[in-house]
Amino acid sequence: MFFIFCFSGIIYAEEWNDPLGKADLLLFSSHADDEHLFFAGVLPYCVANEIKAQVVYTTNHNDNPIRNTELLQGLWAVGIRNKPVISRFPDLFSESLEEALRAYKSRGFTEDDFIVFCVENIRRFKPQVAVGHDINGEYGHGTHILSSRALMKAVVLAGDENYHKKSFAEYGVWDTPKTYINLWNERRISLSINEPLHFFNGKTAFQVSQYGFTYHKSQHWTWFNGWLNGTAQSPIRNSKQIRRYQPGNYGLYRTVVGEDSADAADFFENTVLIKDIKRLKDILKGVIEKIAVKTESAAEAEDTVIAEAQGEPENDIKPEKFENIQLYLKLIPVFIIILAAVLLLFLRNRSKSM
């Protein structure tokens, strides 16, 4: 049971799961509410499509406990059930990278600390896809810029066993297959976040993120509220209505599994998701069970042949019967390996993951 407290006492209690052991998608959000604002639609889309998403916050709000409450309420509202990872870096406002570096230096932190934090989490969760902030900080927030730069460096360093020996010893290395940066102008992709989702009773991923933001009441006085939701006279119901910092537009910053197709509408082309692996295991399990039944029948047949042979005259024994059955039995593991390789190759090279 995970309890959420506020100044007035216990708000509510929910059964939160521990952070994922392995994630399909690792979302690096600078603050509580960025996941519903600039990354609008990403988490609901993952939830609706059985994609394992882990949220990592590169700052904390320990000096403003209500925001920690809102953080958890908002995640729960969009379907996330695994606890997020929250860094030890405080939330410090700045309007440029230089301001951010100076502010964090005054509190004892460096850019390398942010990079190490990202590397640790990449190695820990081993995602197929990592997603981070706009390199310009969306509206110019220095911490967004710092977080984006740290992630862009970390996806390379996480695969280097000579970098940060402590996390290497604990988690090993990981070379993230794909990394997307919000509003990145190269190899652009527009996510499908305005399509009705059966999982959310017909609401779109974007609309579910709007709902998630309703729990961040302490931030409703800011311009973000109107930017995301519009006004009573002119409500925003589709992310395309937002012109500046429009959610859903990303660029493929780095890939080790090939380029996206021209009509790509999600992050997961050329990746193997956890649900794919589970499906593959289920298929192989079924194949193995069927082979086991056939193997048992073959073994019984071999026993019958041996029994018959022992009752026949020596010159009538046909040893090729034994040899054929034994050969079939030896080939069974080979057939299983070939089948697994073909299925895995198919999944890795599918044009769409959904």
Read off the pLDDT band of 337 (50, 70, 90): low
- The pLDDT of 68-84, averaged and rounded, is 98
E-strand stretches of the chain? 2-6, 9-14, 25-29, 53-57, 85-86, 129-132, 178-182, 188-190, 249-255
Q: Is pLDDT above 90 for 25?
A: yes
Q: Picking from 47-61, 98-112, 321-335, which range would have the lowest pLDDT averaged per residue?
A: 321-335
Q: What sections of 222-350 are H helices per DSSP?
A: 223-229, 274-310, 320-348
DSSP 8-class letter at 230: B
Residue 282: its pLDDT value, please? Answer: 81
Across the chain, mean pLDDT equals 88
Greatest mean pLDDT among 237-246, 283-292, 310-319 lies in 237-246
Report pLDDT digits (tens) over 233-277: 999 999 999 999 999 999 999 999 999 999 999 999 999 999 999
Residue 5: its pLDDT value, please? Answer: 41
Residue 287: its pLDDT value, please? Answer: 75
Residue 285: its pLDDT value, please? Answer: 77
Q: What six digits make up the tokens of 329?
A: 């039995």
Residue 68: its pLDDT value, please? Answer: 96
Read off the pLDDT band of 283 (50, 70, 90): confident
Q: What six digits make up the tokens of 252?
A: 């493929």
Report pLDDT digits (tens) over 33-54: 999 999 999 999 999 999 999 9
Read off the pLDDT band of 330 (50, 70, 90): low
Pairing verdict, β 129-132 and 178-182 = parallel
Judge contact between 193 and 236, C-beta under 8 A: no
Residue-range domain boundaries for the chain: 2-268, 278-348
Judge contact between 55 and 84, C-beta under 8 A: yes
> CATH number of the domain at 2-268, please?
3.40.50.10320
Choose between 92 and 345: higher pLDDT: 92
Choose between 82 and 314: higher pLDDT: 82
**Residues above pLDDT 90, as percent of the chain:** 74
Residue 352: its pLDDT value, please? Answer: 41
